[in-house]
Structure 1
Amino acid sequence: MTSSVRSRSEIRTEEEAMINQRLPKEDILRVFSYLDVVSLCRCAQVSKSWNILALDGSNWQKVDLFNFQTDIEGPVVEHISKRCGGFLKNLSLHGCKSVTDDALNTFADNCRNIEVLNLEDCKRITDHTAQSLSRYSKKLSQLNMVSCTAITDNALKSLSDGCHLLSHLNISWCDQISDNGIEALVRGCSHIKVLILKGCHSITDEGITHIGSHCKNLTTLNVQGCVLISDDGMIALAKGCRTLQSLCVSGCTHLTDNTLSAFSQFCPKIKTLEVSGCSQFTDNGFQALARTCIDLERMDLEECVLITDTALSYLALGCPMLQKLTLSHCELITDEGIRHIGTSGCSTEHLQVIELDNCPLITDSSLEHLMGCQGLQRIELYDCQLITRAGIRRLRTQLPNVKVHAYFAPVTPPPSVGGVRPRYCRCCTIL
């Protein structure tokens, strides 16, 4: 007697057959192309036909393995490269610390159309990986090697020899890189637009001068913490890279107003300027900058300890597009400076974030000056001793959606053991 009860596998087979009849393979492939890695792997377990389609190389043009970094070892990368082949264009191995040069050599050989590669924090790779990329990855345009501390100038020489389309490179905290590597890189990769060199402490004016001489299309440079750089290097850079839009020289303590004057003269298109810790900049430098750099949108002036309200008056007048302004630890700033920023016609429209941590002279009057900034989204006020809760409440009556981050010390003396502890706010919105 034949059983009338069908098994789950039979039902699933029928459902799959129905889907495959209604949807051609090309359409199923297109649906799969919108799925992430996890979803594709799940689809691959449904059936043999779906396994073939889900693992088709055309669905693996972009692969991000960051969420699986602890499980990724060399054989996994090699398998993916063989499966994806020439389809793969974008691969992130961010944090995959077990991946080695051998795996990346196999990857580069199999995936010769790679354009974007993220190797951040892949601690075991060395100059040999750069040699493999130079040999096989002729289309590579964006490379992230942050904290790949084993690479040296030889890696940059290899990239220069073979990766001539490179436009974005991040080698932050690769502390074996020197001026020689930078020179080799920019001579062969003249199309670089974005260069991030945070924490490359050996780079000097010589390396910066090479960048200025060869990278005419540079739009973004970050040399945070490169403490050997002086005005000479920055002036050479400004003269050569006149399309620069974003510059970070935070922690470059030897720079003076001459640097700001040079960028004012040669780089008027700058939109982002980060100069935190540049303690020799004065009001005069920002006066020069504000005279021509009218497109500035984001400025980080933290610990520019010599600037006064006068600098803010120049910025309020000359930089109408400012969206974010950091003035933390600028201890000479007073309510008058904030008045210039808060009451300028353009700031009331564009200003979104202002950071005033450790500005001991500002009071609730500064908050009143900011009440007209209808676009204001966040204000930082840690350790501003003259700001009160009442002042913050008045601000929020005018700007109910603004996030105010502040700190008020607990009541002293503290209550006795077992009593109710006072409530205070840190890193939260003040009500």
Structure 2
Amino acid sequence: MQKLASYSGEGLFSSLGHHTEVYALPCKRSRISAPFVFNEEVYTKQKTTIEVLPDECLFEIFRRVDGNQERSSCASVSKRWLMLLSTIHKDEISQTSNQKSTVQDPGHLSRSLEGKKATDIRLAAIAVGAASRGGLGKLSIRGNNSARGVTNFGLKAVARGCPSLTCLSLWNLSSVSDDGLVEIANECHNLEKLDLCKMSGISNKSLIAIANNCPNLTELSIELCPNIGDEGLQVIGQKCSNLKSVSLKNCPLLGDQGVASLLSSTSRSLTKLKLHGINISDMLVAVIGHYGLAITDLSLTGLCKVTEKGFWVMGHGQGLQKLKLLTVNSCFGLTDVGIEAIGKGCPNLKQFSIHKCAFLSDNGLFSFAKSAVSLENVLLEECHRVTQCGIFSMLVNQDTKLKSLALKNCLGFKDLNFNSPSSRCNTLKTLSVNNCPGFGNGSLMLIGQLCPELQHVELTGLHGITDNGFTPLIESCEAGLVKVNISGCINITDNTVCEMTKLHGGTLKVLNLNGCRSVTDASMVSIASNCLLLNELDVSECAITDFGVSVLARAVQLNLNVLSLSGCRLVSDKCLMFLLKIGGSLVGLNLQNCHGISNSSVGQLVDRLWNCDILS
């Protein structure tokens, strides 16, 4: 076969690029014979080439080539040879050739094609070459290449050449239809994970083929596929008994019937379910509550037709006994009544995230926390009827196991005066409050009294927080603060930072002061003197000067890995030598918008701090 390749009329298939999956043979220079004289007549030798053979003959030759590697080498000769080889089905390869091929096909390789690289030619090269290199196991294709993107031909090549395929992800391939995916289903019986996104040409026909031929399917994700409906989902549920994870997002033809059938058929295997923007009603949510026997992770987003009754029935269905993670986003049917029922019906729930649920109030939150005895993590975002009263009622619950509390963009908070708590929450370790304008000093002081074991504190964008509120919190934390982020708290000054480093310098590892404009070099002096374990420091847009940087450089015990001085307008080229000294341990340095540091100084830092990523 090597001789055949050397006589080819076309050169090596160079257009595949450096990442081609085929082996290339050295290109022989074709021999050109000069005219010779015989009986004073000039004759020219005719050049012989295998390319004169029709495709049918070449096909018969290629299917008799010995071994996967040899076929891969033939594919390097020309596009024509590559395309012919990619059409050969494994059953069409001669038995003798199969016996001589010693390479196994367990499916170790993983390949990803995106944008302009997503073409049929590259898929054909992968399909032919993968067999000689261990077999293709995972394939991800993300288009859309409008000029020469992936079509059914490319998928069929993969199906014929990669029977070991277990994971397939197809995104935004407008030229792919059911024909290509059905071929995958017919040939790749070991398929375990299928991800379809923006595949307008795929319908129920493909899902039915997958269900009938791929019994090992465990993960299915369908997003923005307008032609996939209930029928395909029903067959998947009936035939794929090992299904563990299902994600359905924004598919207009999917509704109660398909999802309910899927749930009832996979009630003992399905552990993760995500429904986003699906046209379902209270009936389907009730089915989840009854048949979700194995579900541990449930996410419900944008279910406009689900009412309070649906969530109430779901909670009372007694089927979600194993549920540990629950996310509800933009579901107006989640009210106080519904959330209380969920708390009672999900005894093992540990993490609950609630986003944009406008009718949830303090009463429901308190009842939920009281019922959900295993609850450890709570996130509330844009729940504007929830106030500090609801939050504090969760914390004073004697049976609480709450470890983490996060509040984002909640406008219902008002910084009122509260009585000192009679009990404490010794389990809460992490507090995060982001952009909640009514959360001020009073709330923060009460949190400090309630939660003495805090270690991770994130208070961002809270203009109402001052030293008077933050200092008592610092003094109340008995366990020792480890991570503190007070970015955007513009009224925090050096007093808070100095007090924090004195009390918690032995435990503090991460400190973010981004945007604290009143923080100056005095804080850097205190950090350098007291912090023993600090490895990440962000003082972006603070009033730090060259002196502050020099103080950090002189601190023998500091071993910073990440330092951000972004927007520090008072630092200049004079701090170059100090940055070089600090840079011995740095892996990240942010100097963006530091207009006092010249490009030449940045260049020196880049040249000498070769182990550090520098943003400028």
TM-score interval, normalised by the smaller of the two chains: 0.7 to 0.9
Structure with the higher strand share, 1 or 2: 2
CA contact (8 A) 2:568 2:594 kept: no
Name the residue aligned to 2:236: 80
1:159-217 Cα shifts (integer Å, max 9, x gaps) = 31232332211123445533333223223224321111233344333233224322333
Matches within 5 A, 1:222-241: 222-240=379-397
Provide the aligned length of Structure 1 versus Structure 2. 397
CA contact (8 A) 2:217 2:240 kept: yes
CA contact (8 A) 1:245 1:270 kept: no
Distance in 2 of aligned mates of 1:98 and 1:394: 63
2:339 to 182, 191, 198: 182
Distance in 2 of aligned mates of 1:15 and 1:103: 46
72-81 or 247-256, which moves further after superposition?
72-81
Equivalent residue letter for 1:362: I
SS at match of 2:313: helix
1:11 equivalent to 2:193? Answer no
Equivalent residue letter for 2:363: E
**Aligned-pair distance for 1:114?**
4.5
Name the residue aligned to 1:394: 578
1:329-378 Cα shifts (integer Å, max 9, x gaps) = 333322323443454333xx3433x444443x233344345445865443
Matches within 5 A, 1:160-239: 160-162=315-317, 163-175=320-332, 177-239=334-396
1:358-407 Cα shifts (integer Å, max 9, x gaps) = 43x23334434544586544344443332346546732542254323343
Distance in 2 of aligned mates of 1:135 and 1:18: 55
Distance in 1 of aligned mates of 2:358 and 2:253: 27
1:143 equivalent to 2:269? Answer no
* Rg comparison, structure with higher value: 2
Distance in 2 of aligned mates of 1:392 and 1:123: 57
Matches within 5 A, 1:306-385: 306-319=491-504, 320-346=506-532, 349-352=533-536, 354-359=537-542, 361-371=543-553, 376-385=560-569
Name the residue aligned to 1:419: none
1:309/1:5 CA distance change after superposition, 3 Å? closer
1:246-265 Cα shifts (integer Å, max 9, x gaps) = 22222333233444344444
1:70-119 Cα shifts (integer Å, max 9, x gaps) = 4783344444333322x222333466676433332122112113554352
Name the residue aligned to 1:417: none
1:35/1:131 CA distance change after superposition, 3 Å? farther
CA contact (8 A) 1:153 1:176 kept: yes
Name the residue aligned to 2:465: 281
SS at match of 2:568: coil
Name the residue aligned to 2:189: 51
SS at match of 2:338: helix
CA contact (8 A) 1:231 1:256 kept: no
CA contact (8 A) 1:248 1:275 kept: no
Name the residue aligned to 1:113: 268
1:23-46 Cα shifts (integer Å, max 9, x gaps) = 99xxxxxxxxx9558632689968
Return 5+ residue gaps in structure 1 as ranges. Answer: 25-33, 412-422
1:148/1:256 CA distance change after superposition, 3 Å? same
Distance in 1 of aligned mates of 2:220 and 2:502: 45
CA contact (8 A) 2:325 2:349 kept: yes
2:312 to 141, 151, 157: 157
**Aligned-pair distance for 1:150?**
5.0
Matches within 5 A, 1:26-41: 39-40=165-166
RMSD: 4.2
SS at match of 2:352: strand
1:404/1:139 CA distance change after superposition, 3 Å? same
CA contact (8 A) 1:147 1:172 kept: yes
Distance in 2 of aligned mates of 1:157 and 1:139: 20
Distance in 2 of aligned mates of 1:293 and 1:149: 45
**Aligned-pair distance for 1:232?**
2.0
Name the residue aligned to 1:246: 404
Distance in 2 of aligned mates of 1:286 and 1:143: 37
Return 5+ residue gaps in structure 2 as ranges. Answer: 1-59, 65-87, 107-135, 141-164, 169-180, 193-212, 408-433, 597-602, 604-612
CA contact (8 A) 1:308 1:332 kept: yes
**Aligned-pair distance for 1:137?**
0.9
Matches within 5 A, 1:56-71: 57=215, 59-61=216-218, 63=219, 65=221, 70=225
Name the residue aligned to 1:414: none
TM-score scaled by length of structure 1: 0.73
SS at match of 1:105: helix
Matches within 5 A, 1:408-427: 408=593
SS at match of 1:254: coil
TM-score scaled by length of structure 2: 0.54
Name the residue aligned to 1:101: 256
Q: Give the % identical residues.
A: 20
